[in-house]
Amino acid sequence: MPAVVLVGAQWGDEGKGKATDLLGSRIDGVVKFNGGNNAGHTIVIGAGEQRQKYALHLLPSGILTPGCVPIIGNGVVVDLGVLFEEIDGLQARGVDTSSLKVSGSAHVIAPYNRTLDQVTERFLGKSKIGTTGRGIGPTYADKMSRIGIRVQDLFDRDVLHAKVTGALNLKNQTLVKIYNRKAFDVKAVVDDLASYADRLRPMVTDTALLLEQMLDRGETVVLEAGQATLLDVDHGTYPFVTSSSATAGGACTGSGIPPTRISRVIAVVKAYTTRVGEGPFPTELLDASGEYLRDNGAEFGTTTGRPRRCGWFDAVIGRYATRVNGVTDFVLTKLDVLTGLEEVPVCVAYDVDGTRRDELPTNQAEFARATPIYETFPGWTQDISAARTVEELPKNCRDYVDALETMIKAPISAIGVGPGRDETIAVRDLLD
Ligand code: GDP
Ligand code: IMO
Ligand code: MG
């Protein structure tokens, strides 16, 4: 089986971590291709007393699967402190992290970029993006401005010193003169970054070459996205996006795997919609229904703990995700969260200034004015968490799933009915 891409279809937190983990022992490698520790994936393994919860930020979800090579690709931005904290945390719980590989071309989140992320947000005031404050945006901006620090730079102190000096020449001016902050000391930053070099060195490799060799041997590799389609810097709800390419196209640039090797694109989609941070959200519920979804779905951020904004399923977004990612399969998650609702509305199109729109408006001013046109489905009350086949779902629930599948124009190949690894209905093999 060649390379399989796994992306989020909405605004993140769809359950990508669980979906990757679900593919489990049949995958030989997982490469994370974009984002950094702005991501937060919760994975629940085991049942009853044995139930264990893992929160991953920077490490690919495959790290929890024995025998699977976890890879941090060139498209990722790496906070080295977080990387080792996460590795240490997993090792303390008995997880073997020794096969982790890191691309030498991945960019490093320098301490001044964390500060810049936070102060620019404060400066933006009401126009803020609501970032995670982890330095993601400024680090990608440095990459594009060609003043970034890469993993490979950590192993030559002269190179590192020259690069940090170059970056700080500009950034210290901004920090001091615009934001009234203290300047960063070049030597202190170099010492901080270089302090990770020895521990990092054995993990650093040409990950694109490694991936090609794995694929040549017929191994299965998952290209795992952080964030999601509507947070993609090109295809998302700009400027309320993250600063990387979170759609399927980004999987190639962020990993070094060519498009011709990708055979399948799996998109994870929640049975309703959530969003963290600022920006338009047509189906957002600011009433008791929103509270219901947040409470029932435990919709609080894995990374920042912020309450997630909640709303009904938006089929316009689902169709858009199918189109821009070339989705071959959907994994529908959190269907169980809707249990107990009398009726379940689904947004089938938008009204923008009195005109019906079936496709997502790319003009953001229009998107911000879009109001949902709903179709309402009857709910179900039976607990579905023990269902392992579609036939075991109540009829209203099955009808809801069938309707979504028709509206989003790609097959739903797996359905999540609970957070656990086994709380899933496999409709179709995702890796055949
Ligand atoms: P990610 O960022 O896309 O990996 O998603 P997160 O981990 O941030 O958020 C998804 C949350 O939903 C996690 O807490 C998962 O444990 C949980 N989850 C995933 N699938 C299901 C499901 O089918 N049902 C329920 N109830 N929870 C789920
Ligand atoms: P996972 O991988 C949900 C959002 C932030 C903010 C915007 C920009 O867990 O789905 P950034 O710090 O990236 O510059 O913030 O993007 N955001 C996420 N929202 N899930 C995520 O990741 C996110 N990563 C970033 O809330 O609105
Ligand atoms: Mg998340």
Q: What is the DSSP string of 23-50?
A: HGGG-SEEEE-SB-TT--EEEEES-GGG
**Residue among 294, 185, 279 nearest 241 (CA):** 279
| Collapsed DSSP state (helix, strand, coil) of residue 235 | coil
Q: Distance (Å, rounded) from C-alpha 220 to C-alpha 386?
A: 30
Identity at 373, one-letter amino acid code: I
**In the predicted model, is pLDDT for residue 118 greater than 80?**
yes
**In the predicted model, is pLDDT for residue 121 greater than 80?**
yes
How many percent of the chain have pLDDT more than 90? 94
Ligand 1 proximity of 290 Cβ (cutoff 6 Å): no
Q: Distance (Å, rounded) from C-alpha 138 to C-alpha 123?
A: 14
> Could you report the per-residue pLDDT of 238-286, keeping only the tens digit for each?
999 999 999 999 999 999 999 999 999 999 999 999 999 999 999 999 9
Ligand 2 proximity of 129 Cβ (cutoff 6 Å): yes
Ligand 2 proximity of 17 Cβ (cutoff 6 Å): no
- CA dist 194 → 76, 149, 352 (Å): 19, 11, 53
* Cross-strand pairs, 268: 8, 331
Counting Cα atoms < 13 Å in the Cβ hemisphere of 335 gives 31
* Stretch among 9-13, 25-29, 73-77, 310-314 having the lowest mean pLDDT: 25-29
Cα(7) to centroid(ligand 3), Å: 12
Per-residue HEC secondary structure of 126-175 comes to HHCCCCCCCCHHHHHHHHHHCCCCEHHHHHCHHHHHHHHHHHHHHHHHHH
Q: What is the mean pLDDT of the chain?
A: 96
pLDDT band at 24 (very low <50, low <70, confident <90, very high): confident
Region 383-404 average pLDDT: 98
Atom of ligand 2 nearest to the CA of 35: 13
Region 339-349 average pLDDT: 98
- pLDDT at residue 113 in the model: 98
Alpha-helical segments (H) within 344-411: 364-369, 395-408
- pLDDT at residue 47 in the model: 81
- pLDDT at residue 48 in the model: 83
Region 184-189 average pLDDT: 98
**In the predicted model, is pLDDT for residue 1 greater than 80?**
no
- pLDDT at residue 236 in the model: 98
| Collapsed DSSP state (helix, strand, coil) of residue 268 | strand
Residue 153 annotated in active site: no
**Residue among 359, 239, 238, 347 nearest 284 (CA):** 347
Q: Which two tokens stand for residue 370?
A: 């879009």
CB environment 150-164: b (16+ within 10 A), e (fewer) = bbebbeeeeebbebb
**In the predicted model, is pLDDT for residue 304 greater than 90?**
no
**In the predicted model, is pLDDT for residue 153 greater than 80?**
yes
Atom of ligand 1 nearest to the CA of 43: 16
Ligand 1 proximity of 113 Cβ (cutoff 6 Å): no
- pLDDT at residue 323 in the model: 98
Cα(89) to centroid(ligand 1), Å: 21
- pLDDT at residue 302 in the model: 82
Q: Distance (Å, rounded) from C-alpha 86 to C-alpha 69?
A: 16
pLDDT band at 392 (very low <50, low <70, confident <90, very high): very high
* Cross-strand pairs, 371: 351
Report which protein residue has its CA nearest ligand 2's atom 13.
242
**In the predicted model, is pLDDT for residue 303 greater than 90?**
no
